[in-house]
Amino acid sequence: MGQYTKKPVTIEAFRWTGGPDQQEDPVWACEAIAAGTIQFVEAGIMSVHTTEGVMNASPGDWIIRGVEGEIYPCRDSVFQTTYMPASRDADASGKPVITRAEADAGLSEAKAPRVTVESMEAKVESAEFFRSKTLTICILTLANGFTIVGKSACASPENYSQALGERYAYDDAFRQLWAFEGYLLRQSLADAGR
């Protein structure tokens, strides 16, 4: 018997508050109520007829419609550990649904080997900056001697700031490290048979 990781799937869900402040229920939940799949047993208790039998939900629990249309309740603690917001459609446009801070928080819980900012910062031996008018160039030299070049430039000379130029050029170079470090980690995992 081995270990398994849940495949990434997108589900629909809403959090049941049990009170009048409930947001408008999704159409599929209203249909489930009309069909008797979801019933209100007593104040604060919702009964959900699932493929596994009848399960109760309390205020604060999530009601989920799974990939095959099955409906079931989920405790908030399990839901928060298992799911994160997703785009409405696979080809959604616009900004990401979650903030950078939420993404970083989600990554901080990752248990498998991964590349981190800290591990990459430890490999940077030095940074040199060069300027030409409003163009700033950063050369990062890693501990092993490898170099990466980053750059930044502003459109209006009136907006130029040496400190900002250096920050953005450094970030541009540093961002390029992710691909190299990701490759090295993937190679080491492959070599270890993972």
pLDDT at 89 over 80: no
d(CA 165, CA 138): 9
pLDDT for the residue 176: 95
The domains of the chain are located at 12-88+97-108, 117-191
Residue 96: its pLDDT value, please? 73
CATH code for 117-191?
3.30.160
Q: What is the pLDDT of residue 9?
A: 79
**110-128: per-residue pLDDT in tens?**
778 888 889 999 999 999 9
